[in-house]
Structure 1
Amino acid sequence: MSASPATHPGAGSHRRPRSSALPTSLGGRVATVGAAVLICAAAMVSGLSAGGDNKSLVVLPLVGVVGIGVAVLALTRFAPFVLLLLGVRSSLDVIKLSGASAGNTATNNASRGLDPSSIVALLFLVASMLWLLAQYSDGRRLKGSPLRIALLSLVAAGTVSVISSEVPGASAMEAMRILSWVMMFIVLEQVIVDRRTLEKVLYAAYAGLLFPLGYTLALMVFGSPPSEVKGSFTRITGPFLQSNTFARYLAFMVVFGVAIYPSLSRRSRYAMVPLLGLSSMFLLMTLTRGAILAAVVGVVLVAVVQRRKGVLVGFAASALLAVALVPGLGARFATVTDTQQQLPGGPETGNSLEWRLKYWTEVLPLANSNPVTGIGLNMTQYQTDAAKQPHNDFIRAYVETGIAGLLAYLAMHALLLRNGIAAIRNSVRGTFEHAVATGALGCAVCFLLGSAGANVMSNVVSLWYLATFSAAGSYIARRNPVTGRVDGLYPAGRTSAPASAHASQAASSS
């Protein structure tokens, strides 16, 4: 911002002609009027369509207007744009247009591309690529990490698999979904360079938890909780269309929240307690066994690494109470040993473990036709009678993206674990940094276990937050313990942060 001409000596004799200010003023007025007309038009279209059967005409005009505003924010203030997305992404599925069958062969193309979540993902990808190019052109060294290379290799394998796909549009859309959460990690790895930014990112992630919990709790109070019926079980879904999605999202939030809780301020602890309590309760009420078990292992790992015996004791007592108090939880886990096999595509009341084992033997031979690049992302459900994804991301990576994709997926998991371990080693026990590192490792283990029995690879809403916590762990692993910043993210030729950055860091530490 430059000073006003009146503040300079002799400004009175060099006043800007009045007419020169008119174009700027007129341009601002035209832009304001145009924005108002656009908003009114979108509101009219949505309002007139509210009583009709076409839900798209109600949602898309408003999404378009909001999208334009968010696009302007992305081009002018990129970091706040990313924080905004972290805060709202977990709420977007409540206005999903493609319906509960999204991901099946019936809705893999056009309808899924019109979902607000898909539009936001595309907007994020475009804005992120432009921002990364701008950083590179400004001389900022985008120092690579092995984890980033593994993630990009997975995206590359998925993109190449589109060539051999029977339905290229469906495979390309799936590749874009995977790229969106990979890009979130890449961007946050560049953005998080000091503790202040780290805290902002984590605040945004947990602010995004408020709507899913509040929405679910409010509907439960009014007697109509968001849920789906599968066989003899009623499973809550939250703002999502499937209980599995809600469960995976909550699992990451619970594991990381338990890890950072001891290092929070007193005020933040008061806010975190209800978040973790409701998240844990709703996670159990989803009756999603894989996510529940993965979260249990993640929390136990966090307690062991942080040497918190009280958490282990309290957790064991809570587990016993949950089996007794949560309707259907004990019966849901009892079906693992049920002698009645679950029918392909049928209700989840039989032995789903036995069904999975048999389905995997049916899916694996599909890769024989193209073992190098696979049959194409999302193509398993097109080539099996059950019309389902493999329910095992390791098998899915091999069948759909070939040997190259499987190697990239295995490397990604190994490096996620290594990232958490390196962060723990580069931090001091009892500090906030150590808590973040432990949470990153716990979420990596949670993801690994979930991938072994479910379709998590392209579950964007959950993996955006996994990417967030992994990027936080990456910052802890790469930071300089003296300055608290990440070296190598400054203009070429500079090996450390500017003096002003050191001064501000010292002031914040004191």
Structure 2
Amino acid sequence: MTSRLLTGAMAVASAVAAGFTAWALGEGALGLAVLPVAAALGLVVGALALTRFGAYALLMLAVRPMVDLFKLSGPTAGKAGVDAEGVSRTLDPSTILGVLFLIAAGLWLAARAREHGRLRTSPLTVALLMVGATALVSALGADKVPNSLLEALRILTVVVMFVVLEQLLGDHRYARRILLAVYGSLAIVVAYTVILSLTGNPPAEVKGSFVRISGPFAQSTTFGRYLMFLLIFGFGIFRYVHGRLRVALGVLLGLSFVFLLLTNTRSAILGLAIGLIVVALVQRSARMLLALGLAAVLGVALLPAVGDRFAQLAEARQVGGAPTGNTLAWRLGYWSEIVSLANRNPVTGIGPNMTQFQTDEAKKPHNDFLRAYVETGVVGLLAYLAMMVLLLLAGLRALRRAPPGTLARGIAAGNLGCAVAFVAISAVSNVLSSVATLWYLVAFAAVAGAAPALEVVTTEPVTSRPVTNKVEEHGDSGLSRHSA
């Protein structure tokens, strides 16, 4: 009887939802039309979060890039004069997903702390928590609290994702699962971009005189940074991946490299070069350095727009000018303008995401170090610098602990390359605004911290069994502990 009632109730609810969606589409109200679907998906994801939180966290990593496809507020949301109170962005699926993630993660972490007595922490965890805390405190004192608080919550999802993954990696089986989820996301993103490109409608945006591939993201710069991190780490672990996964990873990395060039994001391209140089030096691979130089030459030869984009560094661009040209010169002028904004509240700043509301240019700082100072004050800047330093130190520590010739070594090299690239391009970009891409940066950092222990715990002495058995035992995953 109960099952019949539930079935009937679900049928009625589905009919009502379908009717509501049809009505909303007829009225042209896209935001209302997706509410029933969003509610249904929210219930499914919520049930997964409450019953199998580990699987839920992996699902979030796998699907996060595609969520921006359903962004209702558009790419201009959050800009001064466009979204005065931040209301439209609160209805974006990415925002709702972030809030649900924070709630579910908070409940899970509280239950885990109660069960185990304490949570696993590291110095990097403390620094990240300080970054999140200073962002929240600064947001409460901002002129536009809804806008600023929304940005603080987005930053907090990055912090909480790292804390969650750090706990999950107490079970070393999650290291490979996390990597599979991350590169599963890349497979979905690449497939989406390839399919639309083949149909003659590539996902792109026009900036100045360039058409730039944006993938599933609202902006090409976000797509570029996402690809940058996954390319650097992917090349770090490539030699330790075997079988069909090696072929699949190679195809993904090749297509991702082409798409990164097509984003025409100079900071991401330079960041990729810096990160891959770090990986090549760590792995003492002259072939990688040679391949990097060859790829740069071929990229400029086969994709002239890339060369044209870098050639624009010789063209002057003034504040308020076109969105192309020597943007470094523009940045220097803009930085001198916004640094004085911190004088209003030098301790806690003007609030996250508030710079663009306080300047005539109405743009973000394009320098995360300066942004940390202006928007979160001296306290926030110290927390941000501590996070940067500890991210690099954690990468070096993982590298020292990783046995040569193992997957852990590749993970450590890839993570260190990502960390160096992050620090480098943060000086000229708004990387901290690309929250969707930072999930993957902290995922790599968490896995790198656990990878050496994974090798020590799960690898038996070579004398006890042939090395070939180790590869056969883990042939299903394709991620071996030792170089072939």
TM-score above 0.5: yes
The aligned residue for residue 335 of structure 1 is 312
**Within 5 Å, which residues of 2 pair with 1:305-324?**
305-324=282-301
Aligned CA distance change for structure 1 residues 216 and 407 (closer, same or farther; 3 Å): same
C-alpha distance 480-325 of structure 1, shift in aligned 2 (>3 A): closer
Answer yes or no: is the 8 Å Cα contact 1:155–1:179 preserved in 2. yes
Aligned-partner Cα distance in 1 for 2:393–2:28: 51
Equivalent position amino acid for 1:115 in 2: D
Q: What letter matches 2:252 in structure 1? A: L
Asked if structure 1 preserves the Cα contact closer than 8 Å seen for 2:175 and 2:451, the reply is: no
Letter in 2 for 1:34: A
Which secondary structure does the structure 2 equivalent of 1:235 belong to? Answer: strand
Q: For 1:410, give the aligned amino acid.
A: L
1:274 CA displacement: 1.2
The aligned residue for residue 266 of structure 1 is 243
Name the residue aligned to 1:78. 53
Partners of 1:286 and 1:367 lie apart in 2 by 33
The farther-off stretch of 364-373 and 441-450 is: 441-450
Q: Distance between the aligned counterparts of 2:318 and 2:163, measured in 1?
A: 40
Alpha-carbon distance change, 146 to 359 in structure 1, aligned in 2, over 3 angstroms:
same
Identity %: 47
Query: Is 1:438 aligned to 2:413, yes or no?
Result: yes
List aligned pairs for 1:370-385, cutoff 5 A.
370-385=345-360
Task: Summarize the Cα distance change of 1:435–1:41 in structure 2 as closer, same or farther, 3 Å threshold.
Answer: farther
Q: Does 1:228 align with 2:228?
A: no
Alpha-carbon displacement from aligned partner over 1:420-471 (angstroms, at most 9, x marks no partner): 1111111112101111111111111121122111111131110111111111
Tell me the distance in 2 between the aligned counterparts of 1:442 and 1:32: 53
Equivalent residue of 1:229, what SS? strand
State TM-score, norm by structure 2.
0.91
Shift of 1:183: 0.6
Matched with 2:30 is: 55
- Tell me which residue corresponds to 1:180: 157
Q: Give the CA deviation at 1:51.
A: 4.4
- 1:136 to partner: Cα distance: 1.2
Tell me, in whole angstroms, the C-alpha distance in 2 between the residues paired with 1:386 and 1:426: 47
Report if aligned partners of 2:408, 2:455 keep a CA contact under 8 Å in 1: no
Query: Counterpart of 2:462?
Result: none
* Equivalence map 1:420-459=2 (5 Å): 420-459=395-434
Partners in 1 of 2:110 and 2:428 — Cα distance?
38
AA aligned to 1:388 is: K
Matched, 1:396 2:368: no
User: Does residue 461 of structure 1 match 2:436?
Assistant: yes
Partner of 1:17: none
Letter in 2 for 1:268: L
CA shift for structure 1 position 139 = 2.6
Structure 1 contact 258–299 (Cα < 8 Å) conserved: yes
1:293 and 2:267 aligned: no
Q: CA deviation at 1:41?
A: 3.0
1:171 aligns with 2:145: no
With normalisation by structure 1, the TM-score equals 0.87
| Residues 1:136 and 1:469: Cα distance change in structure 2 (over 3 Å) | same
- Contact kept in structure 2, 1:417 and 1:441, CA below 8 Å: yes
1:232-284 alpha-carbon deviations (Å, 9 max, x no partner): 11111111111001101111110111111110122110110111011110000
Q: Given the superposition, is the C-alpha separation of residues 202 and 31 from structure 1 closer, same or farther in structure 2, using an over 3 Å criterion?
A: farther
* Number of residue pairs aligned between Structure 1 and Structure 2: 461
Question: Is the contact made by 2:348 and 2:379 (CA closer than 8 Å) also made in structure 1?
Answer: yes
Name whichever of 405-414 and 447-456 sits farther off. Answer: 447-456
Counterpart in 1 of 2:457? 483
In the other structure, the counterpart of 1:5 is none
Cα distance in 2 for residues equivalent to 1:43 and 1:325: 49
Aligned pair in 2 of structure 1 residues 233, 432: CA closer, same or farther (>3 Å)? Answer: same
- Larger C-alpha radius of gyration, 1 or 2? 1
Contact kept, 8 Å, 2:135 with 2:376, in 1: the verdict is yes
C-alpha distance 208-124 of structure 1, shift in aligned 2 (>3 A) = same
CA apart distance, 1:33:
3.9
**Mean Cα deviation higher: 406-415 or 135-144:** 135-144
Closer/same/farther in 2, CA of residues 39 and 233 from structure 1, 3 Å limit: same
Q: Secondary structure at the match of 1:234?
A: strand
2:262 maps to amino acid: M
Where does the alignment leave 5 or more consecutive residues of structure 1 unmatched? Answer: 1-25, 486-506
Encode CA deviations 1:457-500: one digit per residue, 9 max, x unaligned. 131110111111111112136x3754259xxxxxxxxxxxxxxx
Q: What one-letter code is carried by the residue in structure 2 that aligns with 1:235?
A: R
Match of 1:387 in 2: 362
66-75 vs 47-56, which moves further: 47-56
Distance 1:464 1:31, change over 3 A: farther
Question: Is the 8 Å Cα contact of residues 319 and 334 (structure 2) preserved in structure 1?
Answer: no
Alpha-carbon distance between aligned partners in 2 of 1:425 and 1:484, rounded to the nearest angstrom: 19
SS at match of 1:98: coil
Q: 1:47 to 1:270 in 2, by over 3 A?
A: farther
CA–CA distance in structure 2, aligned partners of residues 140 and 39 of structure 1:
44
Segments of 5+ residues of structure 2 without an aligned counterpart are 460-472, 475-480
Alignment deviations for residues 311-331 of structure 1 (CA, whole Å, 9 cap, x no partner): 111121111010011141101
CA shift for structure 1 position 298: 0.5
Which amino acid is 1:375 matched to? I
- Give the 3-state SS of the residue equivalent to 1:372 in structure 2: coil
Partner in structure 2 of residue 365 of structure 1: 340
- Contact preservation (8 Å) 1:426, 1:476: no
1:70 deviation in Å? 0.4
Letter in 2 for 1:207: G
Structure 2 CA distance for aligned equivalents of residues 456 and 103 of structure 1? 16
Equivalent position amino acid for 1:445 in 2:
V
Q: 1:342 to 1:220 in 2, by over 3 A?
A: farther
User: Does the Cα contact within 8 Å between 1:194 and 1:484 map onto a contact in 2?
Assistant: no
Query: CA RMSD, aligned part only?
Result: 1.9
Structure 2 CA distance for partners of 1:32 and 1:309, relative to 1, 3 Å: farther
Match of 1:143 in 2: 120
Contact 2:217 2:223 in 1 (8 A): yes
Question: Structure 1: how far apart are the matches of 2:126 and 2:6?
Answer: 43
Deviation at 1:64, TM superposition (A): 1.3
Between the aligned partners of 1:114 and 1:377, the Cα distance in structure 2 is: 19
Aligned mates of 2:75, 2:297 — CA distance in 1? 33
